[in-house]
């Protein structure tokens, strides 16, 4: 190294340290996972797997025993494996929907739920074929006591609507929280509590007489 003068040696040390810092920063960035936005997607599609054709013959009035085909989907973009539950509730016009601001669930009765483990970036879609097995007219209120979903029968308590108008199916996304070891409505991301829910309205104006 005699051909390198003291000044050149200093310059080389400075160059080496600069290059070392730059290369190590690149190594750090390459090996550290980047933070990303964490969220879920929840959707309901119509019979043709599009955001249309939600009702048979495009008639919102559902008849007794008439099958209605939808597709429920949920996508995990949380960066980790998640255990999710889509809770299906039935309500009428007056019942409260879920509260986005407070993160509160709807008080409507739960009909059924679909539970599934989702890998990161995975989208899970399942058919949701439902029909009204029974509807009873008492006074001016139509009550739906039995609902059939995916060939299974569900008994429903206290779900009626005036003249059979404005029933709705509410879909809420619940996620498993490892801190509490239980399902909670919505999820926590970035210090915020977020929720996802959907509702589809329908009418039932041809019930049987009580």
> Interface with another protein by CB under 8 A: which residues?
3-4, 8, 11-12, 15-16, 19-20, 22-24, 26-27, 30-31, 80-81, 83, 115-122, 176, 178, 181
* Minimum gap (Å) between residue 164 Cβ and another protein: 31
The answer to whether 46 and 52 have CB atoms below 8 angstroms apart is yes
CB-neighbour burial class of residue 169 (10 A; exposed 0-12, middle 13-18, buried 19+): buried
Nearer to another protein, 19 or 51 (CB): 19
* Minimum gap (Å) between residue 41 Cβ and another protein: 18
Nearer to another protein, 93 or 121 (CB): 121
Nearer to another protein, 12 or 50 (CB): 12
Nearer to another protein, 36 or 58 (CB): 36
* Minimum gap (Å) between residue 117 Cβ and another protein: 4
Backbone φ and ψ of 10, nearest 5°: -60, -40
Nearer to another protein, 36 or 210 (CB): 36
CA distances from 205 to 39, 92, 193 (A): 39, 14, 39
Nearer to another protein, 104 or 110 (CB): 110
The answer to whether 39 and 138 have CB atoms below 8 angstroms apart is no
* Minimum gap (Å) between residue 64 Cβ and another protein: 26
* Minimum gap (Å) between residue 13 Cβ and another protein: 9
Contacts of 19 (CB under 8 A, 6+ apart): none
* Minimum gap (Å) between residue 188 Cβ and another protein: 14
């Amino acid at each position: 190294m005699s051909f390198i003068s003291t000044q050149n040696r200093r310059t080389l040390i400075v160059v080496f340290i600069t290059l070392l810092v730059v290369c190590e920063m690149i190594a750090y960035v390459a090996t550290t996972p980047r933070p990303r936005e964490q969220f879920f997607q929840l959707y309901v599609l119509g019979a043709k797997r599009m955001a249309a054709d939600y009702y048979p013959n495009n008639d919102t009035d559902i008849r007794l025993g008439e099958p209605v085909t939808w597709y429920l989907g949920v996508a995990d973009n949380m960066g980790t494996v998640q255990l999710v539950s889509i809770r299906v509730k039935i309500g009428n016009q007056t019942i409260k929907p879920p509260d986005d601001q407070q993160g509160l669930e709807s008080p409507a009765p739960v009909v059924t739920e679909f539970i599934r483990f989702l890998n990161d970036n995975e989208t899970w879609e399942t058919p949701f074929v439902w029909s009204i097995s029974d509807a009873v007219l008492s006074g001016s209120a139509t009550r739906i006591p039995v609902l059939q979903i995916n060939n299974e029968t569900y008994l429903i308590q206290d779900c009626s609507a005036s003249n059979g108008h404005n029933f709705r199916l509410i879909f809420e996304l619940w996620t498993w929280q490892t801190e509490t070891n239980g399902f909670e409505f919505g999820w926590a991301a970035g210090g915020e509590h977020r929720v996802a829910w959907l509702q589809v309205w329908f009418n039932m104006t041809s019930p049987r007489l009580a």
